[in-house]
């Protein structure tokens, strides 16, 4: 019924030449990639702390092992067992392969109600950073964790604007 309503054949007689979608996919992808990503609001993060957090993200904190630019997710196979990320399998067991997907973390500043982590179990970025600090035995100090959170709040997809943003002091980082 639905196919007939949309004017599509229901008798499996359509030929590959009848495909009206594939030829439009390249233009659709170009359009999607051309949509500018939202930028963090001015003053929403501490730029100096975010710069320090950038170094931690790719170094000591090991975030870049899974959250790789520019998609901020694992390239290729982006699934992890609960054991790899030190959590229970409650949500992973709902998936056919019992794994968690590496969530893209660009535009985290748009998450004002929390729901952070692979399955949304943490209400604040502080909880996520604390979890990984313990799980991976990173040894991050309080100031390093704060700097890392400031960096996470600065992330966006796509290019950043040419002007550098300045932000609030790092003590406002856990507003989520």
What domains are defined for the chain? 41-158 (1.10.760.10)
Q: Quick one: average pLDDT of 153-175? A: 58
Best mean pLDDT range from 3-7, 80-84, 93-97, 130-134: 130-134
Q: Which two tokens stand for residue 169?
A: 């002091």
158: left (phi over 0), alpha (psi -120 to 50) or beta: left
pLDDT digits (tens, 9 = 90+) for 48-82: 999 999 999 999 999 999 899 888 888 888 899 99
| Termini Cα distance of the chain | 46
pLDDT digits (tens, 9 = 90+) for 84-126: 999 999 888 888 999 988 888 988 888 877 788 877 889 999 9
Q: Rounded to two decimals, what is the model's pTM? A: 0.72
Sequence-distant contacts of 54-61: CB under 8 A, at least 24 apart: 54/151, 56/140, 56/144, 56/147, 56/148, 56/151, 57/148, 57/151, 57/152, 60/138, 60/139, 60/140, 60/144, 61/129, 61/132, 61/138, 61/140, 61/144, 61/148
Say whether pLDDT at 156 is over 80: yes
């Amino acid at each position: 019924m639905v196919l007939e309503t949309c004017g599509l054949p229901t008798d499996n007689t359509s030929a590959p030449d009848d495909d009206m979608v594939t030829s439009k996919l390249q233009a659709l992808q170009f359009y999607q990639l051309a949509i500018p990503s939202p930028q963090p609001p001015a003053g929403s993060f501490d730029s100096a702390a975010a710069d320090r957090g950038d170094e931690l993200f790719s170094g000591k904190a090991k975030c870049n092992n899974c959250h790789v630019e520019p998609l901020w997710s694992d390239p290729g196979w982006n699934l992890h067992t609960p054991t790899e990320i030190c959590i229970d399998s409650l949500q992973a067991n709902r998936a056919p392969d019992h794994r968690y997907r590496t969530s893209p973390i660009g535009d985290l500043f748009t998450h004002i109600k929390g729901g952070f982590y692979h399955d949304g179990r943490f209400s604040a970025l502080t909880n996520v950073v604390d979890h990984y600090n313990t799980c991976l035995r990173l040894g991050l100090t309080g100031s390093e964790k704060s700097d890392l959170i400031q960096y996470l709040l600065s992330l966006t997809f796509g290019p950043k604007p040419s002007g550098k943003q300045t932000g609030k002091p790092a003590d406002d980082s856990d507003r989520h």
